[in-house]
Structure 1
């Protein structure tokens, strides 16, 4: 292989930082100098300023009626074209089995499996197998957490700064439910209780909090999204584009991030829709994409059949949905249709089968934990 030569590090950084992370991992093996340059925090900062696409999705089963955790985790690459590409050991470098919590900008947040004696939270980069642990205050399987990490706002040339936010229902004298927020800062290595509370009678749904431009978002089962501003420590309830009572069948939805904005994916008898949040204080949404179920089937006859009938048959929560949006990131939707996992690209309107649900475990049908990953070279600060 012919090795590129650069007159100085500046030229090398400008050229190499334009390459994808997967290629850079291979180039680290070219020479000691390239390994030093690509591993340097300043280089990682430059590379992160380029667009980092979603590379895949983590998938973890959950028991439907039991609080114990399932330890197995699978990683599904977006380019997956055969069953052998499914990866099951990506997080095996951690000291114990974990449960997925949240992901942002290449970092993954996870916690010890319950029951566990250690009861720790881990923040890690699965690409370079770098990780740090932090204490888990009053561990409860019902808590929801989020990971806040912005390498552009807090450059990583010296330190990788992150925060973990724990949201939980606090005990009050009133009948109304109140959410409280605990914040862990990697700078202080300590938890503290925020003075902010959020009056919310709904339950938090699906995956952990989604971090976008200094804000954390959690989807609820009550037509609302909980928002928490980390800088001002203020919370807000954002109404979803449509209340579920407007539909004849029980709709399925998920939230995600693309181009630094919150998106909302909805599947109902109306069809598949993608919304983007314009104003969180006014709960103002813009419809970016909408396709009727019959048109959706017409465009994807290889994978879809009798969609209107199958989606329209879910009249109670006891009936498992036939089509479910699992996670959305960067214009890509990971979804379950019947017993298969598909990737849908909104821009190209192309649907592609990634794998069968049977490969992911016997409990993969019941609302699994699904997190997107954009691989990066971000290093962690070890204590």
Structure 2
């Protein structure tokens, strides 16, 4: 089975907003065995939309459209769908009552006609009731192809996908099973990793595909299996993962897309009852922000001192000026002092410190652009390492954050 995703709106094409809807829809469809054949973003133009619908009808089984269902004149999706299906708009009384109730409760005023027009839907459509918004979804069919129109507001789209669209698609179509397993690795580059697992990869069954998904400091390995027997797919994926673990066990830090290193690190800290803090210079608080992006991180993360300026390292962390003068603010010695002192200040078990030159110009040090020192303070002592992450600035910071998390994760595993 194949599907296409069409996002409608000039705001996407001019870069005013980022299309996150397509990613969510694609992931959701994959889980029920529907493969996404194509994604498109089209303008708020009647003919453009009509041409796109006609083109996709001959290619796929399902077309999912988001956007253009608002109450203003530039929202033309419903009228264009009527043109495509030779239909007309009619009032859906259940939607109208819902819209009036929402407007009156939220804004303490009567619903205007423009609000009430949200209840207009093509007469041939099946309404997908939107409990979390005013714009309903719509399900229509032509020549065996299902067309689904959803609001562009992400939380409304997600509600309808999960509660209306997916259950209907499961009932409507016979689909193969698709099973995914993602293995998260850290500290090994994509090419080196590929060399190490080449024999394992070549021996994979034909119905299992491997994809490499690299990003700075980490590589995700995604196994995808498709077939008619779900039990067999899960069993074979499990067997292959166990074989992979024998080859690269020390480089694997987690599984599945949701298990980022910061999530896995948080789980490890929670299991061991440990606490952590940071002292950051060149990363400007990015390590702390990444750690605290995980819900519940307050249980183990106790704080951060962003000692960006040299005087802050002296005044807040208490690093003796003579150490900075002797070794430079970007050095192993200063990184280790930062880690040791923030560990004591915050009273934590583990501490991360970063100092470096992210660029584009040199700061209070002669260290080359891209040079970063990362230190880890543990209950047993302090370790540090020098890196050169190249350029540009954003890459340096991102790679430094990933490497810092990788290093502290491995230090905690040692104990």
TM-score tier, shorter chain, comes to: under 0.3
Q: Which structure is larger by alpha-carbon Rg, 1 or 2?
A: 2
> Normalising to structure 2: TM-score of the pair?
0.22
Higher share of residues assigned helix = 2
Give the number of the structure with larger relative contact order, counting CA–CA contacts within 8 Å between residues 6 or more apart: 1
